[in-house]
Amino acid sequence: MSRPSFGARLAAAMDSRGPLCVGIDPHPSLLAAWDLTDDAAGLRRFALTVLDAVGGRVAAVKPQSALFERHGSAGVAVLEEVVAAGRETGTLVVVDAKRGDIGSTMEGYADAYLRDGSPLAGDALTVSPYLGFGSLDPAVDLALATGRGLFVLCLTSNKEGHEVQHARTEDGVSVAAAIAARAAAINAGADPLGSVGLVVGATVGDAADRTGTDLTRVNGPLLAPGVGAQGAGARELAAVFGAARHQVLASSSRGVLAAGPDVAALRAAAVRAAEEATAALRPS
């Protein structure tokens, strides 16, 4: 039996657990702070501790692939284990690997991260549209066919993102607005939310307005990193997303992970972050 769409599953998860994604980012400095070794065994302990604390309690978790890949095949094996264990908890797993390539090799990435039975396939994948939005077609097709989702980089949280994302295409439309329009076209008619989301940093201030990016028309989830360690909080979430805020999945990694390794303290930090995100994004 086919699973419901990612958009529907995420909407339900955000309604029941709050609009928070906890990033699983095993930075060397955090491993040291948790008294863990900077190797595959340390990664494994770190990531499984985070899942123990927040699995089944938050809408989503987001393992950061780079920090597993830096340990080579042993690190990737841990990422595979974390993806499977995360899905077992019922919390949605967004693999943050920011993949993007020409169409023919994008098929390979889609197969790795979005195919049923692939060990790296979570519930959604972050992808980069900067080889052209159409180059993502293999990922879009496979995600929609398997009930998975994508988060397409649109207005990223880093200070350099504007160099590319605010630039104007030959039609005079900003790159960010063009990406948002392509996602909106794929999501048209989906209820309650489409499965092709965007990444829009909680740190981007009024960039959506300045680039003419209409987030309310995307009809898909908006993954908002930048909460916590990058300086954004409830005020920024409300200001950046305005009328699109009910679509937002706020994401915090170091802001929650700094509370570890104690499981109860991690859980409490995640609950606090989820309450803050709920107050900012879903005011009653």
Ligand X SMILES: O=c1ccn([C@@H]2O[C@H](COP(=O)(O)O)[C@@H](O)[C@H]2O)c(=O)[nH]1
Binding site for ligand X (CB under 6 A): 23, 25, 64, 96, 156-157, 199, 201, 225-226, 228-230, 251-255
**Alpha helix (H) ranges present in 157-284?**
162-165, 175-187, 207-210, 234-241, 254-257, 263-281
Nearer to ligand X, 108 or 231 (CB): 231
- Rounded distance between C-alpha atoms, residue 78 and residue 43, angstroms: 7
Nearer to ligand X, 36 or 204 (CB): 204
Give least dist CB 212 to ligand X, A.
19
Nearer to ligand X, 213 or 253 (CB): 253
* DSSP for residue 253: S
Catalytic one of 98, 210, 254, 282? 98
- First-residue to last-residue Cα distance in the chain: 37
Give least dist CB 204 to ligand X, A.
9
CB-CB neighbours of 32 under 10 Å: 12
Nearer to ligand X, 46 or 147 (CB): 46
Residues 6+ apart with CB under 8 A from 101: 108, 109, 131, 135
For residue 98, indicate whether it is catalytic: yes
Residues 6+ apart with CB under 8 A from 100: 106, 127, 128, 129, 130, 131, 135, 136
- Rounded distance between C-alpha atoms, residue 175 and residue 173, angstroms: 7
Give least dist CB 38 to ligand X, A.
17
Cβ atoms of residues 96 and 105 within 8 Å:
no
- Rounded distance between C-alpha atoms, residue 272 and residue 282, angstroms: 15
Give least dist CB 176 to ligand X, A.
12
Give least dist CB 163 to ligand X, A.
14
Nearer to ligand X, 187 or 251 (CB): 251
> Which residues are catalytic, by number?
98
